[in-house]
Structure 1
Amino acid sequence: MKQYLAYFITICLMALSLSAYGLTLHDLQQQFSQYSVVRANFEQDRYINGLSKPLHSSGQMIISKQLGLWWQQKTPFALTLKMNDQRMSQGIGDQPPQVITAQDQPQLFQFNSLLAAMFNADSATLNANFTLTLSEKENQWHLRLVPKTTPLDRIFKQINLTGHQYLSQITIDDMQNDKTVIQFFNHQTKALTTEEKHLFD
């Protein structure tokens, strides 16, 4: 299940720059590509069958169109994930990072390429793989994605995105009847600093 963490994160990041109201799917997808860099803090709760309380974690993330994803979990333990279209590195605490390449896990990276289609307003690709429902309520937009192709339909039941100016929450219902809820806040879109660029090394 750990390898699907990257799936969850990628879905979140595709939607971190949505804004405005009365939107169509095309408008939303155009908004995905508005910013070159998006930063946010996150709070994540995983509701797992058999556990009385959710597993809670928190941290911060940066996504750069040029460099990829940097995701740093701070609590309950340190975890750093770095990802681009060819390479993913995950390190826990002071342990040496585990590196996965597109050659090692082509399915994972094909999934990332699929979601990257959102940045290009590729509605044909999205509609080919998901049943999409877009709605608005109480000054927020809601986008529901139900997978209709394999392997997505073997991993997820549905994915729900909710936001205002930016994505504020994603809820993932998986095929194991578990649920993951991730909330994003403190969004920033200024250019990367030199120090931040080194985080992707």
Structure 2
Amino acid sequence: MKSLFFGLCLLAGMAHADDVLFKNIQSKLIDAPVIHGQFTQARQLVGVKKPLTSTGSFLVDKQRGVIWKAEKPFPSTLRVTRGEILQKNGDQVMMKLSGDKEPTVKTVSGLLFSLFSGDVGALGRLFNADGSVTGKNWKLSLTPKDAALGKLISGIQLQGSGTVEHIQLNAASGDVTQIDMHDVTTAPALTPTESAYFE
């Protein structure tokens, strides 16, 4: 009984520590409804020597979702909302996954939405955390709480200051994706053209 009580106290202490860390990092992030920027992505696949690289732009509306537009090496658009993942090549829909039909889609879309929008508090529901805050800069290392999510992702590392600037996503398969975000700007609302991306 003593060991069970001690274990529960230890878990409660860890949860509290994570909560403080998340709140500390969240306080460093710019609180803007809309975030724009550019990205460079490098994906290292197991068994492939040269990483797959792409560049483009991203748009985050913290209420509606994320638009991820790759421009090179070929154009494609990924739209992530809390309940759906949609990928298009021009006007052609390449993939459409709905959280209503696949519960795991809602988990993955929620994860991507939280990552790119900088909602670190939401990440605490899915991951255990370790990290540090030094002045305006912060680092965060995440490991999955859920075994099912652990079969997809072994860990995530985030770095940033006023916004998320670097993401490293380690897949359980051994593949590693690194994303650097730069030239970030904010806005109070979407333009009409940007709103159309979510329709």
Shorter chain as denominator, the TM-score bin is 0.7 to 0.9
Aligned to 2:195: 197
Write the distance in 2 (CA, Å) between the matches of 1:96 and 1:116. Answer: 24
Structure 1: gaps spanning 5 or more residues: 1-22
TM-score normalized by the length of structure 1: 0.76
Query: How far did 1:100 drift?
Result: 2.1
Identity %, equivalent residues: 26
Aligned to 1:106: 103
Q: What amino acid is the match of 2:192?
A: T
Q: Is the CA contact 2:25–2:138 (under 8 Å) kept in the aligned structure 1?
A: no
77, 88, 101: which one pairs with 2:74? 77
Mapping for residues 7-22 of structure 1, pairs under 5 Å: none
Aligned to 2:58: 61
Instruction: Give the aligned length.
Output: 176
Write the distance in 1 (CA, Å) between the matches of 2:62 and 2:81. Answer: 9
> For the structure 1 residues 113 and 33, does the alpha-carbon distance in structure 2 shift closer, same or farther, using more than 3 Å as the test?
farther
In the TM superposition, what whole-angstrom CA distance separates every residue of 1:83-119 from its partner, at most 9, and x where no partner exists?
A: 2223332112453343222222221113444675974
Q: Is the CA contact 2:28–2:136 (under 8 Å) kept in the aligned structure 1?
A: no
Is residue 164 from structure 1 mapped to residue 161 from structure 2 by the alignment? yes
Structure 2: gaps spanning 5 or more residues: 1-19
Across the aligned residues of Structure 1 and Structure 2, the Cα RMSD in angstroms comes to: 2.7
Q: What amino acid is the match of 1:193?
A: T
> For the structure 1 residues 84 and 176, does the alpha-carbon distance in structure 2 shift closer, same or farther, using more than 3 Å as the test?
same
Q: Is the CA contact 1:135–1:142 (under 8 Å) kept in the aligned structure 2?
A: yes
89, 92, 106: which one pairs with 1:92? 89
Is residue 148 from structure 1 mapped to residue 145 from structure 2 by the alignment? yes
**SS at structure 2 position matched to 1:60:** strand
Q: What amino acid is the match of 1:186?
A: D
Moved more, 130-139 or 75-84: 130-139
Q: Is the CA contact 1:32–1:119 (under 8 Å) kept in the aligned structure 2?
A: no
In the TM superposition, what whole-angstrom CA distance separates every residue of 1:136-188 from its partner, at most 9, and x where no partner exists?
A: 46963110001121322111111000112222111111111121100000111
**SS at structure 1 position matched to 2:93:** coil
> For the structure 1 residues 52 and 109, does the alpha-carbon distance in structure 2 shift closer, same or farther, using more than 3 Å as the test?
same
Write the distance in 2 (CA, Å) between the matches of 1:34 and 1:167. Answer: 12
Q: What amino acid is the match of 1:42?
A: F
Aligned to 1:51: 48
Q: Is the CA contact 2:80–2:109 (under 8 Å) kept in the aligned structure 1?
A: no
In the TM superposition, what whole-angstrom CA distance separates every residue of 1:24-49 from its partner, at most 9, and x where no partner exists?
A: 42122355682211111100001112
TM-score normalized by the length of structure 2: 0.76
Write the distance in 2 (CA, Å) between the matches of 1:167 and 1:192. Answer: 20
Aligned to 2:7: none
179, 182, 201: which one pairs with 2:176? 179
Q: What amino acid is the match of 1:39?
A: H
Write the distance in 2 (CA, Å) between the matches of 1:96 and 1:129. Answer: 29
